[in-house]
Structure formats: C-alpha cells, structure tokens
C-alpha cells in the first residue's frame, strides 16, 4: 500500500485548491497518507484509525473556516495562528455596517457583536447564517457555495427555492441584502408562467445576469413550485436507489444465514426493513433496553461524526419526507454497497471505485465533493483501504462507545 499513497492526491480532487488554504486541507491529506502508510495499518487497522480519529485528527470548526476566509480577504500580515479573535470580529462588524446588512434574517434582541463572536466560535451554523454572512462580507456566489458544501457539508444553492435563487443572483451581481428583500417582494407579486418542460435547472445552465431574466425564471419557477423535481428530490431519488441496492445486498446476506433464513424463507429486497438495514450497517453500535441504538452522546466520536448514525428512525423519517437527505446518508449507503460488492478486491481499487461513484452522486445532488477535512468522510475512506471495510467500520463504532463509558 505504501508506495501507492502518492496517488491519493486530495489537493487536486477535494476541497480548496488554493495556496492560501492555511493548511486545513493539506494537513488532513498529508496525515491521511501517513496513517494509511503505517506498517501497523495492515495488521491493526481499526486501532490505528480509531487512534487517529480520537487522538490526532484536527477538528476544523465553522469558526475556523470563517476566520481563514476573512484572513485571506483582509490580507492580514501576521501569522494566521496569532491573529486575535477581536480582529475578525471588528472586520465583520465594520463590513456589516458598510453593506447595511441586518444582524439576522429573523427578529432577535441579541447584539450583532455577540452574534459575531458566536459565529467565530461555532462548530457549525444554520444555512441562513451563511447566506447572511454572504451579504455582510460581500461574498461571491462561489464563496457562499464553498461554505454551503464544504463547511456546512450541505447541498449547494437550491435553484428550486426562490429565496436561494435570489440570493445567488445578488451574490453573482454583488447586490446587497436590501436588493434581495426587494426581489423577494417582487417574487411575491409575480404571476406564475407555466414551463414548457420539467427539466431541472441549476446554476450550470442558467444565465441570470439581469433582473429581467431573474424575474422570468422566478415566474416559471412559481408555476411549478409544487413540482417534486428539485435539487432535494434528486437527492431523495439517489437515496432511494442506493437504499434499494443496499437492501438487495442485505437480502443476499440473510439468504445465506441459517438463523435468518429459518427454513425455506426467501429473502428479497422488498422484505428488508429499515430495522434490518440498521442491524447490518450499525452492528457495532450497542443497543439499549428498549432495542434502540444507544444515544450518540455516549460515543466519544460524537463530535467527529456530527451526531449522525444510520438508524432505522433516520431512514424512516427520510422515506416519509420528515428529514431531508444529507450527504451523510448517500456516502454511508455507497460505502456499504462498495464494501460488500468489492470485499475481495484490492483495497486501493475499491477505494478509487468508491470515490468515482460517490463524487458523481454528490455532484448530481449539488452537494460538493468528498472533503478529507470532514472526520466522517476521512473515516470511511480509511476503512475502504483495509481488508474488511465494514468490519473495521463496525469495530470503530464499537470502540467509540466502549471508550465513552470509561
């Protein structure tokens, strides 16, 4: 494995490619290569990965990303690590005043200075906070897109959401928050215009460089606002496809398991329930007396994995549209599928195949590429380079709860 690590070039395939990266991505990529190149990785893979995640991996917060962005934009001269938070706070406060951006999109009695300090210290923030910062800091549409997909790890601009279309237009044309509010009022008064086709439009094939073109698009969007075709439903379709594929694999596993087969029972994908999916994918997570997965807070990797597990409740809520599909869901399912269908393949080939497949899926869903700085995504990539990815995946989950109980 060691002599193949030079091919794991995350700087070219993942995240910010600029020299002014301030080492978040490059440090993560370098440490990834070092860990999977260790002599002990092949024999003690789960222990090595767990140790790296819990003891060594750098957790990069939203606040850190925001500071890095401001550091670059403001062309600060002192070393990045030596800039006090007050400098960033004052830059944000001054910029919000200059751009006449409100302190919140919703009524609040909290002072802007307190909100700014909170943003600079937060591990994560809500989507609307990124949009607000986009106006307050005069971000470009590309800047905001990076924060949505790589920092929040959510989908890119939703071009079937009128507010997000308006925000994108304003960032692209450098119009401020007041212009966005005026455009929202104009949208409210638009007469819907029926669209000639059901093609999903996204920024890649839109040319909204004038207000006239924007309002024309919004009028067409308003006519099909209830149409299920959207960025989010694209993610739902991908989720449904991957979930069915996973169920087919699980049905095959059950069919060859004497305890599950129970005589002449024939397992099919249709017979696999969300509980079955949880049982297989989350086999390393302990169960409580009620038969549910133990609380995420009991795991010492809770922060690393953003409080998410692929539980039956999560699956059921997504299928009933109570929860949106997130990149976590798609990445977990694709990891499971590849780990099973390529279980006997060369680890490096398995890893490359996974990256090819998931990058394409995430792109179709507007969710941005795999990001090595994200602990959960780094974790799955490391597992794929072991001899038994799913077994290592489960063992590390199990360890995280055992360590959390100590």
**How far is it, in rounded angstroms, from Cα 404 to Cα 258?**
34
Q: What is the mean pLDDT of residues 323-339?
A: 95
d(CA 15, CA 399) in angstroms, rounded, equals 29
pLDDT band for position 265 (cuts 50, 70, 90): confident
- The radius of gyration of the chain's CA atoms, rounded to the nearest angstrom, is 23
Q: What angle do CA 385, 387, 391 make, to 5 degrees?
A: 100
Measured CA to CA in angstroms, residue 21 lies from 61, 69, 373 at distances of: 15, 9, 12
pLDDT tens-digit profile of 17-28? 443 445 677 888
pLDDT at 291: 87
pLDDT at residue number 201: 47
Higher pLDDT, 304 or 346: 346
Give the DSSP per-residue string, 39-87: HHHHHSHHHHHHHIIIII-----HHHHHHHHHHHHHT--S-GGG--HHH
> Any idea where the domains of the chain sit in the sequence?
231-404
pLDDT tens figures, 92-129:
999 999 999 999 999 999 999 999 999 999 988 999 99
When pLDDT is averaged across residues 138-152 and rounded to a whole number, the result is 92
Give the mean pLDDT of 207-222: 88
Average pLDDT over residues 327-347: 96
Q: Answer whether residue 309 shows pLDDT above 80.
A: yes
Cβ atoms of residues 44 and 398 within 8 Å? no
pLDDT at 80: 87
Rounded CA-CA distance 65/70 in Å is: 9
CA atoms within 13 A on the CB side of 219: 14
Return the minimum-mean-pLDDT range out of 179-188, 269-278, 365-374. Answer: 365-374
Q: Which residue has the higher pLDDT, 80 or 403?
A: 80
Average pLDDT over every residue of 324-346: 95
Which comes out higher in pLDDT, residue 124 or 241? 241
Cα 309 to the chain's mean position, in Å? 14
Q: SS3 letters for 104-133?
A: CCCCCCCCHHHHHHHHHHCCCCCHHHHHHH
Query: Which has the higher per-residue pLDDT, 238 or 11?
Result: 238
Mean pLDDT throughout 377-403?
A: 94
pLDDT recorded at residue 29? 86
Q: pLDDT value at position 21? A: 44
The pLDDT of residue 258 is 65
Report pTM.
0.78
Q: Considering only CA atoms, which of 30, 14, 57, 117 is closest in space to residue 368?
A: 14
Q: Considering the chain, what percentage of its residues have pLDDT values greater than 70?
A: 87
Q: What is the pLDDT of residues 348-373, one digit of tens each?
A: 999 999 999 999 999 888 788 888 88
Counting other chains too, the contacts that 226-233 makes at CB distance below 8 Å and 24 or more residues apart are 227/160, 227/198, 229/160, 229/198, 229/200, 230/158, 230/160, 230/161, 230/200, 231/155, 231/156, 231/158, 231/159, 231/160, 231/200, 231/202, 231/365, 231/366, 232/155, 232/158, 232/160, 232/324, 232/325
Confidence tier at 6 by pLDDT (50, 70, 90): very low
pLDDT at site 363? 87
* pLDDT computed for residue 52 by the predictor: 93
Residue 3: is its pLDDT beyond 60? no
Half-sphere exposure of residue 313: CA atoms within 13 angstroms, side-chain side: 7
Q: How confident is the model over 194-202, as a mean pLDDT?
A: 53
- Which of 217-221, 382-386, 399-403 has maximum average pLDDT? 382-386
Q: What does the mean pLDDT of the chain come to?
A: 87
80-94, 157-171, 228-242, range with the lowest pLDDT: 228-242
Within 10 A of 172 (CB to CB), how many other CB atoms are there? 17
Q: Determine the Cα–Cα distance for residues 150 and 16; give it in Å rounded to an integer.
A: 9
pLDDT at 261: 62
Q: Mean pLDDT over residues 32-54, rounded? A: 92
Residue 275 CB burial class (10 angstroms; 0-12, 13-18, ≥19): middle
């Amino acid at each position: 494995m060691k002599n193949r690590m030079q091919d794991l070039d995350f700087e070219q395939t993942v995240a910010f490619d600029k020299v002014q990266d301030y080492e978040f991505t490059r440090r993560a990529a370098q440490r990834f290569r070092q860990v999977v190149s260790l002599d002990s990785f092949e024999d003690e893979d789960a222990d090595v990965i767990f140790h790296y995640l819990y003891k060594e991996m750098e957790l990069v917060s939203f606040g850190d990303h925001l500071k890095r962005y401001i550091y670059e934009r403001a062309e600060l001269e002192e070393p990045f690590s030596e800039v006090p938070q007050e400098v960033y706070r004052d830059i944000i406060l001054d910029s919000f005043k200059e751009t006449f951006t409100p302190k919140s999109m919703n009524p609040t009695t909290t002072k802007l200075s307190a909100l700014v300090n909170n943003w600079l210290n937060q591990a994560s923030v809500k989507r609307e906070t990124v949009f607000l910062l986009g106006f307050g800091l005069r971000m470009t549409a590309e800047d905001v897109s990076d924060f949505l997909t790589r920092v929040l790890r959510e989908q890119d601009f939703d071009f079937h959401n009128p507010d997000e279309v308006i925000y994108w237009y304003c960032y692209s044309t450098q119009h401020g928050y007041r212009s966005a509010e005026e455009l929202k009022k104009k949208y409210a008064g638009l007469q819907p215009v029926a669209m000639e086709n059901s093609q999903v439009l996204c920024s890649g094939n839109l040319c909204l460089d004038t207000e006239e073109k924007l309002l024309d698009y919004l009028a067409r969007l308003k006519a099909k606002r209830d149409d299920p075709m959207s960025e989010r439903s694209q993610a739902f379709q991908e989720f449904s496809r991957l979930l069915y594929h996973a169920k087919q694999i699980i049905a095959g596993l059950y069919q060859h398991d004497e305890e599950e087969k129970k005589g002449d029972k024939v397992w099919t994908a249709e017979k696999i329930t969300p509980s079955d999916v949880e049982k297989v994918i989350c086999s390393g997570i302990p169960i409580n007396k009620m038969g549910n997965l133990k609380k995420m807070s009991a795991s010492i990797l809770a922060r690393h994995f953003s409080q998410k597990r692929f539980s039956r409740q999560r699956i059921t809520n997504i299928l009933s549209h109570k929860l949106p599909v997130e990149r976590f869901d798609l990445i977990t399912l694709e990891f499971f599928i590849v780990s099973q269908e390529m279980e006997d393949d060369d680890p490096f080939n398995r890893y490359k195949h996974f990256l090819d497949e998931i990058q394409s899926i995430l792109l179709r869903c507007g969710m941005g590429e795999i990001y090595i700085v994200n602990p959960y995504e780094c974790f799955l990539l490391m597992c794929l380079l072991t001899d038994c990815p799913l077994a290592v995946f489960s063992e590390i989950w199990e360890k995280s709860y055992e360590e959390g109980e100590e």
